[in-house]
Chain A
Amino acid sequence: MSHCLESSPKDIRQAEMVIALAGNPNSGKTTIFNALTGLRQKIGNYPGVTVEKKTGRCALPDGRQVTIIDLPGTYSLISRSPDEQVAMEVLRGLRADTPAPDVVVAVVDASNLQRNLYLVSQLIELGRPMVVALNMVDVAERRGAPVSAGRSEERLGVPVVAVVGHRREGIAELKAAMGRARVAPMPEWGLPEAMAGEVERIAAEVRSGTAPSPSTLGEGGGEGLLDGRGGALTHPSPGVPGEGDQWSVVAERLLIGDEAGDLDRVLEVPGVWEAVAGARERLLASGVDPVQADIEAHYRWIDEVARGAEQRGSSTRGETGGVVRLEYAPVRTWSDRVDSVLIHRVWGLVIFAGIMASLFVALFWVAEPLMGGIEDGIAALGAVVSGWLPAGPVHDLVSDGIFAGVGAVVVFVPQIALLFLFLGVLEDSGYLARAAFLMDRLLRGVGLHGKSFIPLLSSFACAIPGIMATRTIEDRRDRLATIMVAPFMSCAARLPVYILLIGTFFATWGALGQAGMMLGLYGLGIVAAAVTACIFRKSMLKGQGSPFILELPGYKVPQVGQVLRTVWVNTREFLVRAGTIIFCFSVILWAMSYYPRLPEERTSAIAVAAEAHAQEVLDSFVAAHRDVRHTGWHWEMDSVYDDALLSYIAAEQLRYSISGRIGSAMEPVIRPLGYDWKMGVGLLSAFAAREVFVSTMGIVYSVGEADEQSSSLREAMQRDRYADGSPVWTTPVALSLLVWFVLAMQCMSTLVVVRRETGTWKWPVLMLVYMTGLAYVVALGVYQVGVRIG
């Protein structure tokens, strides 16, 4: 029943062979994928899930063009994570967005043969034409357990090619072998007798019922579950196993509780569900657990194959309770020696601290000048472009809306690129797993995972790279919990606000007191994160404490090309996917502070007031600088006067705009926290980025361009009085606002990235509501208590 590819109904395949690379995590699958496809890759996402979809093209020696899919790494076809689910669904042809593969290339780490063969044993049951790529044969040899491709081929009955992915050895042979791919003969698993009997009984039930024909079992990709049984693609394979085998496989999967989508239709067949339930009950009653029996049978077969595949007698036969095992002579590799230092109880922690410190320094300080340069560059470009336009709304849209919006997106690029550079090196080298191993105990206490550490640390620089870094966490609940608390880490954008408020209202505390205050704000964020992580894990993200089964792969030297590819792909994805939305929001926020314009009839009145204000500013300036007249003095006076005039009008315009009106309308709500409408406008504008609060304060206080160190802004804030003469800014107000900035979710870029990473608006909306709610309650408490105790 070998089928003709050209006659395939799906036009997506365009008569082209689709080859899927499947393998365990750390088996070197991606290295082989890169070696096969070079730069002819496309990287996107599987619709509906945040799992990376990597496809590429490659030419076989016979001239055929094939599509290669690099599946997410998986330990088993009975999936536990979204990544594994996708790999399973593609392999079974259950995804409408991805064609079922014509050939499966099983990538096997030869230095970790047994566990890698477990997936192979499941891939054999899949019944698709297969090739095995025996990767890292060099490592296996160094470990004293060399593996022979030739003998493995004899045992498995499918082409086996020895490969050293990072040196591109065996890649040409692998391409040639793809044309020879064939369906593996079904092994005798040697299930316990009782179980084998039940499997046959269920298979008979499925067959006799109005079961869907084997070739239509699979949905999605157009090809059926069993349709791939075409034998070798180039020439008919002798001894293609009959369909009987496939019904047995289906029955076995039903019995062990495989919940893959293709089985749903089988379970709907009358009588099947009852037959499975009855069989399971009978087996359990007689002391046979189908799941355990199945896995043990697979591993017994693996022991056979592995023993046959090894070249030398480094393995010894041992009989234990009738079970033949393989025992490795404990060869101490350099990887083991590295580990005895890198995860040593003292040195390990010291080195870990050093690596994390350099990551933090890179994100915090190295990225800083790059970000400044990008912002300035884009602003300068905006000034040039808008300079060609006449003054008016279009001019302002281009310079303050569009170019500032582009800047708001591109400004994140240095941090994201640096983060993925670090992550790429750490992951490729194998250190990322060690970092999780070292930190797990610390984070487990609050229901997080060892792998949550790097995302949270990165979030101190910026939550956006931090949230993107949670991709390394496999478990969905661990990942969501980490995402949800990451924005509590005080990011670099909060720093200007902290400096402005602490420097202005806690000046009497001295340097040490101010530093302590700053530390306290960081601490508050950490405490809030720990508490909310606990709450999330006990409510929405509750679960049988997600298991921590972490492989510690052998150390490898990271490959420059692979790391740079990761950096490029992730940065590009951020710009395209999240960047466009962030840009739109920036333009909307700009428009809200720009429109409506002040009406004609009010401009004259404002102009009079502005002139009076400007004259006042000029007078005080002249009084202050009486002694330092020099050439160009009148130029300076002119500019002081003009700045004061323009900033007064800008403040009036902002007050008249939608943002200003919302700020005023918000006043009753934020009044209990001690804020007036100006701060309300500031909080709204901070949605573009938290540090914008400072420049907005500069506008509403008519001091023109201001940063957190501007003494003119600080004085204006301290001078500000309500109508009754009481000061607007008091210590409780400043404290309350600081607490607000630590806790509130007011960064639309973060929300957009959370939407992007979680796939729904549910999580960002929840984040906005609970963080801002928490900020409101705590800031309210701080202000009210502060006012009462003075």
Chain B
Amino acid sequence: MSQVTLDAAAYRVVTPEECEACEFAEVCTLNLLGVGRCGRVLAVGGDPSVRRRLMEMGFCNAAHVEVVRRAPLGDPIEFRLRGYYLSLRHDQARHIRIQPVLS
């Protein structure tokens, strides 16, 4: 699973309803996950140094991620990961591939 590169998904805030519809998708990028939903980290792509830092922050080993909220202007997005909170822009979150799970 090396050198993961993901397609540049178009910037778009996905509504929870839409996310509901793709609940059984096998793979999804983190920016597309609706608020309150969870997923497991599958792979991280993008710029090597950012990718490394994201993994160092805990996006690895199938870690459990929850989407806590979006900022009032839609971006960035706040996540809960390994017992702490951090926020990423769409632009970073779309490089994290996850497997959605039922919360």
A residues sitting closer than 8 Å to B (CB atoms) are 75-76, 78, 80, 111-115, 118, 143, 145, 257, 284, 287-289, 291-292, 295-296, 299-300, 303, 320-321, 323, 325-328, 330, 343-346, 348-349, 437-438, 440-442, 444, 450, 544-545, 547-553
Measured between beta carbons, the chain B residues less than 8 angstroms from A549 are 50, 53-54, 57, 86, 88, 92
- Name B89's contact: one of A111, A321, A548 (CB within 8 Å): A548
Q: A289 contacts which of B2, B62, B66, B80 (Cβ < 8 Å)?
A: B2
| Most chain A CB inside 10 Å of its own CB: which residue of B40, B57, B64, B85 | B85
A437 with B78: CB separation less than 8 A = yes
Indicate which residue in B58, B69, B80, B87 contacts A115 across the interface (CB closer than 8 Å): B58
* B residues near A300, Cβ cutoff 8 Å: 61
20 A-B contact pairs sorted by A residue (CB < 8 Å): A76-B53, A78-B56, A114-B82, A118-B58, A143-B83, A145-B83, A287-B2, A289-B1, A299-B60, A300-B61, A323-B61, A323-B62, A325-B64, A344-B72, A345-B72, A348-B72, A549-B57, A550-B86, A552-B85, A553-B84
Chain B nearest CB: distance from A612 CB in Å?
67
Contact B84 A441 (CB under 8 A): no
A440 to B88, CA, bound (A): 10
Given that A75-B57, A287-B2 are known contacts, is A441 also in contact with B73, CB under 8 Å in the complex? Answer: yes
> How far apart are the CA atoms of A143 and B58 in the complex, in Å?
19
Question: Contacts A284-B2, A320-B62, A323-B62 known; A78 to B57 CB distance under 8 Å?
Answer: no
B55 at the interface (CB under 8 A from A): yes
Establish whether residues A112 and B83, one from each chain, have CB atoms under 8 Å apart when the complex forms: yes
**Residue on A with the closest CB to B62?**
A320
Taking CB atoms, residues of chain A closer than 8 Å to B48 are 257, 291
Not counting A118-B58, A438-B71, A544-B47, a sample of 5 additional A-B residue pairs whose C-beta atoms are within 8 angstroms of each other reads A75-B53, A118-B56, A292-B44, A296-B55, A550-B76
Q: Is the CB of A440 within 8 A of B71?
A: yes
CA distance in complex: A548, B63 (Å)? 20
CB closest residue in chain A, given B63: A325
A115:B55 contact, CB within 8 angstroms = no
Structural contact, A343 and B2, CB atoms closer than 8 A = no
Number of A-B contacts (CB under 8 A): 136
Centre residue among B51, B69, B84, B89 by max chain A CB count within 10 A: B84
B60 touches A437 (CB 8 A): no
* A438 engages B72 (CB within 8 Å): yes
CB pair A444 B75 closer than 8 Å = yes
Q: Would you give the shortest CB distance from B35 to chain A, in whole angstroms? A: 11
Quote the shortest CB–CB distance from A331 to chain B (angstroms).
10
Interface residue tally for chain B (C-beta within 8 Å): 42
A292 touches B1 (CB 8 A): yes
Residues on the B chain within 8 Å of A113, using CB: 83
Chain A residues near B63: list those with CB within 8 A: 299, 325
* B16 CB-CB contact with A under 8 Å: no
Contacts of B21-74 to chain A: CB distance below 8 A: 40, 44, 47-58, 60-64, 66, 69, 71-74
Closest residue of chain A to B85 (Cβ to Cβ) is A552
Q: State A437–B87 Cα separation when bound (angstroms).
A: 7
A327 and B50 within 8 A (CB): no
Q: Are B84 and A551 in contact (CB under 8 A)?
A: yes
Task: Choose from B40, B44, B78 the contact partner of A552 (Cβ within 8 Å).
Answer: B78
Q: Give the dominant DSSP class at A's interface.
A: mixed
> Could you say which residues of chain B place their CB within 8 Å of the CB of A118?
56, 58
Residue of B nearest to A288 (CB): B2
- The answer to whether A80 and B88 have CB atoms under 8 Å apart is no
Q: Can you name the residue of chain B whose Cβ is closest to the Cβ of A340? A: B69
List chain A residues, Cβ under 8 A from B88. Answer: 547-550
B92 A547 Cβ-Cβ under 8 A: yes
User: Known interface pairs A328-B83, A551-B84. Does A78 touch B62 (Cβ–Cβ under 8 Å)?
Assistant: no
Is B76 within 8 A of A115, CB to CB?
no
Q: Which residues of A contact B86 (CB under 8 A)?
A: 549-552
CA distance A292 to B80 in the complex (A): 21
- In the complex, residue of chain B having the shortest beta-carbon distance to the beta carbon of A293: B2
Q: Are A303 and B61 in contact (CB under 8 A)?
A: yes
Q: Are A295 and B83 in contact (CB under 8 A)?
A: no
User: Are B50 and A544 in contact, with the CB atoms below 8 A?
Assistant: yes
A441 CB contact (under 8 Å) in B56, B75, B78: B75
- Assuming the A-B contacts A437-B76, A438-B72, are A78 and B84 also in contact, with contact meaning beta carbons closer than 8 angstroms in the complex? no
With a CB–CB cut-off of 8 A, which chain B residues contact A553?
84-85
CB-nearest residue of chain A to B49: A80
Please measure, in the bound complex, the distance between the C-alpha atom of A665 and the C-alpha atom of B65, giving whole angstroms.
Answer: 67
Please, how many angstroms separate the alpha-carbon atoms of A268 and B54 in the complex? 30
Looking across the interface, which residue of chain B has its beta carbon closest to that of A335?
A: B85
A-side contacts of B82, CB under 8 Å: 112, 114-115, 326, 328
Residue numbers in B under 8 Å from A143 (CB-CB): 83
Q: How far is the CA of A566 from the CA of B68 in the complex (A)?
A: 32
Bound form: Cα–Cα A348–B78 in Å = 14
A325 near B62: Cβ-Cβ < 8 Å:
yes
A37 to chain B, nearest CB (A): 28
- Closest Cβ–Cβ distance, residue B60 to chain A (whole Å): 5
Known A75-B56, A348-B72, A349-B72; contact A548-B61, beta-carbon cutoff 8 A: no
A321 touches B62 (CB 8 A): yes
Among B44, B55, B69, B91, find the residue whose CB has the most chain A CB atoms closer than 10 A: B55
Partner of B52, one of A78, A545, A548: A78
Bound-complex Cα distance A111 to B86 (A): 14
Bound complex: CA A450 to CA B73 (Å): 12
> Sorted from nearest, which 8 A-B pairs have the closest CB atoms?
A289-B2, A441-B73, A345-B72, A552-B85, A114-B82, A112-B84, A547-B50, A295-B55
Chain A residues within 8 Å of B73, by CB? 438, 441-442
Q: Is the CB of B83 within 8 A of A111?
A: yes
Chain A positions within 8 Å of B55 at CB level: 291-292, 295-296
Q: Which of B2, B40, B52, B74 contacts A295 (CB 8 A)?
A: B52
Do A343 and B69 have beta carbons less than 8 Å apart?
A: yes
A291 to B59, CA, bound (A): 13
B71 to A115, Cβ gap below 8 A? no
A295/B76 in contact, CB under 8 A: no
Q: Nearest Cβ in chain B — how far from A57, in angstroms? A: 33
**CB-CB under 8 A for A320 and B1, given A112-B83, A114-B82:** no
Give CA–CA (A83, B75) in the complex, Å: 26
A417 vs chain B, min Cβ distance (A): 31
Contacts of A444 in B (CB 8 A): 75, 89
Q: How far is the CA of A118 from the CA of B49 in the complex (A)?
A: 17
Which residue from chain A places its CB closest to the CB of B52 in the assembled complex? A291
Do residues A548 and B58 form an inter-chain contact, with CB atoms below 8 A? no
Instruction: Return the contact of B56 from the options A295, A323, A325, A552 (Cβ within 8 A).
Output: A295
Q: A76-B53, A118-B56, A548-B88 are in contact. Are A441 and B76 (CB under 8 A)?
A: yes
Q: Are A114 and B56 in contact (CB under 8 A)?
A: no
Are A80 and B78 neighbours in the complex by a CB distance under 8 Å?
A: no
Residues of the A chain whose Cβ atoms lie less than 8 Å from the Cβ of B1: 287, 289, 292
Question: B53, B61, B78: which has the most chain A beta carbons within 10 Å?
Answer: B61
A300 to B55, CA, bound (A): 13
* A553→B85 CA distance, assembly (Å): 7
Query: What's the nearest-Cβ distance from chain B to residue A474, in Å?
Result: 12
Residues of B within 8 A of A440 (CB): 71, 75-76, 89
List the B residue with the shortest CB-CB distance to A145: B83
Set of chain A residues within 8 Å of B76, measured between Cβ atoms? 437, 440-441, 450, 548, 550
Residues of B within 8 A of A545 (CB): 91
Closest to B73 in A: A441
Q: How far is the CB of A85 from chain B (nearest CB, A)?
A: 13
Contacting residues, chain B, for A78 (C-beta < 8 A): 52, 56
Cβ contacts under 8 Å, A437 to chain B: 71, 76, 78, 87
In angstroms, how far is the closest chain A Cβ from the Cβ of B41? 10
- A257–B82 CA distance with the chains assembled, in angstroms: 26
Given A78-B52, A80-B49 in contact, is the A296-B60 Cβ separation under 8 Å? yes
- Complex Cα distance, B73 from A442, in Å, reads 8
Q: A299–B56 Cα gap in the complex (Å)?
A: 9
Pick the residue among B40, B51, B60, B92 that contacts A548 (CB under 8 A). B92
Closest to B81 in A: A115
